[in-house]
Amino acid sequence: MLVVVAPGQGAQTPGFLEPWLEDPTFAERMRWLSAVCDIDLVHYGTKADAETIRNTAIAQPLLVASGLVAALALFPHPSASAFRRIDLAAGHSVGEVTAAAGVGVITAEQAMVFVRERGKAMAEAAAKTPTGMMAVLGGDPEEVLDAIAKHGLTAANNNGPGQVVAAGTLEDLEKFSANPPAKTRLVPLQVAGAFHTHYVHHAVELLGGYARAISTHDPRTRLLSNRDGHVVHNGREVLDRIVKQVSSPVRWDLCMQAMQDLGVTGMLEIPPAGTLTGIARRALRGVETFALKTPDQLDDARAFVEKHGERSPLEGNPTWRLLVSPVKGTFSVAQDHPSTGTELQPGALVGSVHSLRDDLPVAAPHGGTIVEWLVEDGDPVSPGQPIVRLHPHPAGVGTP
């Protein structure tokens, strides 16, 4: 089983796009996305220094564009091949925008305008107070989280065993550095503020307005959310979660737990690659990884996809007719037990999934008529597994 992942801010390095831009098609696509977001991404991906591309307003569009164009190089005809082989997708922080566009929730052009405004809003919010982020490597997980909280910092990223990112004011980070948790190593991150904390909450309000104006579609394959590792199969919810994630912690540890629950055997990271596959090598033992860094790796990457990819349970189905399980657990049908032919109103509950952590409702956000139950009461379900097939209301057919 294959998962394709997109890295977040901090993964960019000076000149990482140079070998990719030798391909005329790649260069043309980058110039087009540069025009869409009104930022010279070709220049920043080849000539700019580390401090320049550390700027949030530049880094975020650069990361999303490079990931999307590299994915097109890997899958020249995504609609014909990619979604038959990609079983799961996820992105870390701003990488969620890349992943969402990659699986069809929004278009590449929508993604570039959105991420341009996301980067600007986060940069402006972060500039109000001198803040930053610092990776805490090693140490006892509970002791690390306790020390972060005691210093008035936030665990903005939980990337699994041995890597938590602390975020807050530069003053508090300096005090934390002077008295770190036992057996840890601290690494300042190349970001311009304390992202995924309350320091950038203002950006959430602004982006929420933009998001409401964007039309969405349901993902073409299973998509994990940074917020809790759940599979989210409603396009509108995907975008809403991406907006709120700006000021909420990234739980990459829970995303990796979902990958384990699904039985992922291979992880492919799109450019600028290396960060997430590095984490996976420590946390997902037995999972083979592939960091796609340069175009001369494309043939090997395609072989990796063929080796690990399976037929997606969503491929070949109109995805807006399916309700899926958000997590691994046991499915319980709603008390009124709607039967085949039942017409559901928007938001109607069809059941819930009981996981080790909590009970999660499964509702029909757009309503519809039940065509077929795909599981029964008490059945075990995996993340993203289809539960019930709906025929949309006539007024809702084709509605984004």
For residues 9 and 20, what is the distance between their CA atoms, to the nearest angstrom?
19
Main-chain dihedrals φ then ψ at residue 230, nearest 5 degrees: -80, 150
C-alpha 124/C-alpha 203 separation (Å) is 8
- Residue 196 appears among annotated catalytic residues: yes
Ordered strands of the 2-6 beta sheet = 222-223, 88-91, 2-6, 266-269, 288-291
Catalytic residue chosen out of the listed positions 66, 93, 225, 248: 93
Question: Residue 135 corresponds to which tokens in the numbers above?
Answer: 């990776």
Concatenate the DSSP letters of all residues of 157-182 into one string: EE-STTEEEEEEEHHHHHHHHHSPPT
For residues 381 and 330, is the Cβ–Cβ distance under 8 A?
yes
Task: Give the CA dihedral 264, 270, 276, 280, nearest 10 degrees.
Answer: 30
Tokens representing residue 277 in the block:
């596959």
Within 13 Å and on the Cβ side, how many CA atoms surround 142? 0
Biggest CA pair distance of the chain:
65
Is residue 391 among the annotated active site residues? no
Q: Which of 196, 230, 308, 366 is catalytic?
A: 196
Query: In this structure, what are the phi and psi dihedrals at residue 392, rounded to the nearest 5 degrees?
Result: -65, 155
Task: Count the alpha carbons within 13 Å of 356 in the hemisphere toward its beta carbon.
Answer: 6
Summarize the chain as % helix, strand, coil (round to 5).
Answer: 40, 20, 40
**Would strands 154-158 and 131-138 be described as parallel, antiparallel, or unpaired?**
unpaired
Distance (Å, whole) CA 88 – CA 107: 18
Positions annotated as catalytic residues are 93, 196
